[in-house]
Structure 1
Amino acid sequence: MFKTSILIFIILAVIACQPKPKKAVTETINFEINVRNIKMGDQDAQVFNLKNSNGMEVELTNYGGILSRILVPDKDGNSENIMLTYNQVEDFINDRYFFGATAGRYANRIAKGKFSIDGTEYQLATNNGPNHLHGGLQGFNKKFWKASVIDSLENAVGVKMEYLSVDGEEGYPGNLNTTMTFILDKENKLSITMESTTDKPTIVNLTHHGYFNLSGMKEDILGHQLTIFAEHYTPVDAGLIPTGEIAPVEGTPFDFRIPHLIGERIAETGAGYDHNFVIKKEHDGKLTKMAELVHEGTGRTMTVYSSMPGVQFYSGNFLDGKQTTGGVTYGKNFGMCLEPQFFPDSPNQPNFPSPRLNPGETYRHEIVYEFGMKK
């Protein structure tokens, strides 16, 4: 009996000395949203600031559905703006670079501003030489959207925007009702969802046209490392209109299937990158990883997902040094765009996925920008 008691005591002592499993610690992420009123020209507009306690902040305005700033932390925890912008939101009224823009009704180019639906030809405004670009003279980035805070989310904060583009606006057929939501979550993901309906057959191709620079504006984007998950791209003519060919990227400076520095082969392209990359040859509407961007110095990463079949990679070739923000001059290649989309000039290219929208259908485009740290 005595020996049994000693044995039990030893067993209990050994158990007591074993390290106790740590309880899982659930970090609470807090959110904040602030709204302020400004004047855009002679009209009232709103500016929304979305924040989470992970150090990420998103600033946007209902003028143009514009994302004016995105602040994300670097490897040392310092949050900096990583989008080309202006000194104040009010300056976007004179924007000519499409900084942070919602591009529509049709993002990118349509040759000669012409397309046909069911035998009827439509002439759009031409604002890029002989071609139509990003919705025309007064695209969606120049319109005032009706905006409201989304306050029913768990672990996220957001803004909803709505705009009615009337039949004939910029030459497009049909009344087009569009709703956009911008949602910032606890994992430093910014999701943009765009939905449109029409009362007449039309075309729709909406995207976000932000210029990114993960260095926090300390250097240009040529030293950023880029991956694009595309085996094909669409070659273009001198006016940056697709030729209709869907060409393999293999053996060309357009092959980003493995990471490359943006500046590594840019000279081989001639004027720089301003091309559509084919993520999928068919439009299935499924959210797909399109691209990854890495800045070694700050450790920042950005992963882009979208439900569209293509993504336009633009290396900021037309930035001309005429804009200085916060003491930093935006010269050539100082920012880059990754614009998920239907392919450029799709209404005139029968072998491209169709951007047509009919009454009774809903156009839907989801974009997710995921920000993180290089491992």
Structure 2
Amino acid sequence: MPDDASSQSRGAARPPEIARRYTLRNRRGTTAVLTDAGASLMEFWSVDRNGGWADVVLGHDAPQAYLHNDNYFGCTVGRVANRISLSSFECSGARHTLTANEGEHHLHGGAGGFSSRLWRAEWLDLPGAAGALRFSLRSADGEEGYPGNLDVSVTYQLDEQDALCIDYRASTDITTPVNLTNHSYWNLTGEGSALGHTLQVFAGEYLEVDAALLPTGCRLGVAGDAFDFRYPLRLGDVLKQRPAGVDHCFVLNAAPRDNALRDVALLTDHSSGRCLQVATTEPCLQVYSGNVLDRVEGKSGRLYAQHSGICLEAQGYINAPNRPEFPAIWLQPGEVYRQRTRYRCALAE
């Protein structure tokens, strides 16, 4: 486990020319290591049924590596998570052209999106928190092609029940789309493949996608489908039926109300006894099974292979600016965007 000497002290934030790490730890020893590079989760240390500790997220050893994080390990992605077709959209009568970074399409905010930015860090004292840290930045008008100056904050809060809550907020001076999420890859064993994990998602539908992984506009029912995660499914068994892997957006059952968190997914590793409980305010959960990981160098020289981790990304609807049939993700001047997602590591019953 990391020690506090490797962490930025609780003094004034240093100038953000060099990426740094910050540690949150509760009385049980559960630890989250963060970096201002991409407002990212670098490490999450959780205990297993035998009292052993492991870091259960994939990533890099050095904070600076998160500024060149092609696989988006642990980072905050935005302005708009997921894909925007043909890297453009129309807003207020004007056509906006975004940077194309996945063929002709726009992915996770573009090549210079939030995941590759250095954020300003500030320690917070919050009631009920073992530790809390807020990252903030300004995304300038025209950055990656988006309209409006967007002020963004991401607050990580670790509590004494081993839950890491991420609170996103944003405001703008011009109408713009906003859809933020966290892109951590979870491996509850701490190493190796995640195909032995079981996953349950409280969703009756998912979005049909085309070959470019863009939604067609159709919602598919999960009943009778390989993706019927309403009941716990072993990921390896799912991929036998869907060898291309999972990279799909599930429409969650309970509609968001009053920005209240509700439980949406449960990931379990029976070998260690760990489980990950996911709760969010968002309408959708993108499930990604690490399909394109291919001997990617990670922590301690490990090479991450395909399906070494699974992402559970709470967010709004994919490509919503170009899909009027989907709930909108527009943020208007005078409004405050807010999204909350909680990841809690526990021992499976």
Judged with a 3 Å threshold, the aligned counterparts in structure 2 of structure 1 residues 309 and 365 are, in CA distance, closer, same or farther, namely same
Question: Do the aligned partners of 1:281 and 1:352 also contact (CA within 8 Å) in 2?
Answer: no
Q: Quote the sequence identity (%).
A: 37
Contact 1:157 1:184 in 2 (8 A): yes
In 2, Cα distance between equivalents of 1:114 and 1:281: 31
- Inter-partner Cα distance in structure 2 for 1:155 and 1:177: 24
Count of aligned pairs between the two proteins: 339
Residue range with higher mean Cα deviation, 303-312 or 321-330? 321-330
Unaligned segments of structure 1, at least 5 residues: 1-31
**Given residue 364 of structure 1, which amino acid in structure 2 is its aligned partner?**
R
Bigger RCO of structures 1 and 2 (CA < 8 A, at least 6 apart)? 2
User: What is the alpha-carbon distance in structure 2 between the residues aligned to residue 166 and residue 283 of structure 1?
Assistant: 30
Deviates more, 1:150-159 or 1:233-242: 150-159
| Structure 2 partner of 1:273 | 246
SS in 1 for 2:264: strand
TM-score, normalised via structure 2 length: 0.93
Matched, 1:316 2:290: yes
Equivalences for 1:281-300 in 2 at 5 Å?
284=257, 285-300=259-274
Which of 206, 212, 232 is the matching residue for 1:233?
206
CA separation of 1:281/1:167 partners in 2, compared to 1, >3 Å: closer, same or farther?
farther
- Among candidates 327, 333, 341, match of residue 315 of structure 2: 341
2:67 aligned counterpart, secondary structure: helix
2:41 & 2:115 partners in 1: Cα distance?
A: 10
Structure 2 residue runs without a partner (length 5+):
10-15
The answer to whether the Cα contact below 8 Å between 1:189 and 1:371 also exists between their aligned partners in 2 is yes
Alignment check: 8 A CA contact 1:35 1:48 kept? yes
> What does 1:149-160 correspond to in 2, within 5 Å?
149-160=123-134
Q: In 2, Cα distance between the equivalents of 1:338 and 1:105?
A: 18
Residue 8 of structure 2: aligned partner: 36
- Give me the whole-angstrom Cα distance separating, in 1, the residues matched to 2:132 and 2:165: 9
Q: Bigger radius of gyration, 1 or 2?
A: 1
4+ runs deviating over 6 angstroms: none
Counterpart position of 1:177 = 151
**Which shows bigger deviation, 129-138 or 113-122?**
113-122
Give TM-score, length-normalised by structure 1. 0.87
Q: 363-372 or 321-330, which moves further after superposition?
A: 321-330
SS at match of 1:141: helix
Cα root mean square deviation, aligned: 1.7
Deviates more, 1:335-344 or 1:144-153: 144-153
Q: CA deviation at 1:343?
A: 1.5
For residues 253 and 328 of structure 2, the distance between their equivalents in structure 1, rounded to whole angstroms, comes to 13
Matched with 2:51 is: 77
Q: 2:174 aligns with which of 188, 191, 200?
A: 200
1:130-174: CA deviations, max 9, x gaps? Answer: 110000011101111111111343442110111100100000000
Q: Hey, what's the Cα distance between the residues in 2 that align with 1:298 and 1:55?
A: 17
